[in-house]
Structure 1
């Protein structure tokens, strides 16, 4: 089968339709708006390529002007999809692309008509494509393999369309849009089919990687407070624990809400959830760099610190207790104060396990509650420890 223009357009129609369908199915699964924009772009290419077949039958307005306008629209949809993916706001100036193409309607037919149309169309496709590639630059973070591929495929595709602007400027070059004749048109049809396959595969890989990352993040987070859950803490804690030394002790703070049941009984579980979220926000705001915080379950939270000291532990615990008491006293009137009890232990040698460390913190927490609640009990287990401290 000869790869003449009608054949290449037919292949393009099939590839674009398949890409649109596949991305639409992906969108129905994950509801990522970027996939919807990209699927729309490929659907538009399929329609535009179908209409392009009409130009050989004399339908120049539909087969050339409208079909090529759809190609420009499709690449603009690709740009919109990348903007959504990268969470970038596009300038309204980009809509001048369509106004520019509408002005082309006023262009009188003549010897230079095909060249001018190809020149303008190539520019209007190249600009959004190159802008989309630029938006996918790393921004100081590593990109997924799919995003890197998409970035460079779009870059190559955009540069190709910039290169298409050169032949119309060369005297004597054959460019006949109506009959789809000229080497640049033939090469463009082949490049278009290849680009569709590469762009579609890269887009799919890009979103799949993001979805996997989102699933991994959700699996590591407590659904109510968005702090780490216990399983995620167990994965991340060893790195911090193994770095402790006599010069840089570590500390674990086990936090429990006193009289939390009163809030649930008097104000409902929704109010109790709000209180848990409020405490998690306080912890997150006060959390030092490189420290870890997690919700172990119920109203129990844990903070794991590196490079700690008794003064630092008391300062953090006291700030949490004071802010939390202020919140509960203003929001909930209860027979007994809703406060925080904190059990903490300071250590300069890695414990046997995180579970053993939490168990030691639980002992200190019990002492804190037995001593009257709304207090911090610090068990200093470092070699230079004087004795247990409370506050």
Structure 2
């Protein structure tokens, strides 16, 4: 059996990871020199035909795709992988005077405003068939189009349907239902301070209950036996009853795209279900880095990420939805991984203004 999207604590939002600024800047600047055409450790210089992609650890494409791009473009692609979106943006900010590469992929909508405010990405003209579809998910306020949407996905609570069926307990369906004593000690979510999906779920509750209600909601979850894991991987694979680790909790935070990967060998249906009334939509963006050594190559690579070949590969390789409507989804996604019709939303400007405050309040409320 394959597994849902591997957003581990390292790849999830080390988003507010504490990095000693001076040491990190020095180390990352050294990395940048090697990655973007500056002097390498042995005094050589990277070739002019190299384009460096800076991305998170969940970036992957099927075998042969990047090689095909290299053959057709004449460029050599170097991939520099960081943690997840928040840590990625933190490092881009630290190194914006000596950028880590040419193109960044993986900035999500929780951190897009910071990347724009810090000027780490710049607009570029591209010609790709999927751009109009990507424009539907453009960052509000990004009039110049410095960030281009590449993929998206819904972060939602998932339930172990077999666990509930075997015990005759009705499955929860909404955020509010999790406050029912019937679900005491049954829910595990990743910490929003250390996890990208965890932050998305925090934002879902802000969108659902507003400034006046989200804190009380989390207090209710806490009082009903909520468990908080460091990251998605621990929550899903260790604490979730259907994650393979014989965990004790049948409700976990994951993705709307997770259920297709729980179809047992020889089976015809998943053993889990995403609760589509609990979702927050993540959008992942790419952009040419300010000061890139090879901005032309970066633009070509961005066009490649929006090509039909890559967009069709995204569900298979990165377990996210493509932004392009011109490609077909895998049949099992059509059957078992629908996107939410009405995911909860929070205005990007509000996320940018209140993110740190919300995280502090969440920690004080839930962790104490």
Which structure is higher in helix share?
1
Q: Which has the higher contact order (CA 8 A, sep 6+)?
A: 2
| TM-score, structure 2 normalization | 0.21
Decide which structure has the larger Cα Rg and report it.
1
Which structure is higher in strand share?
2
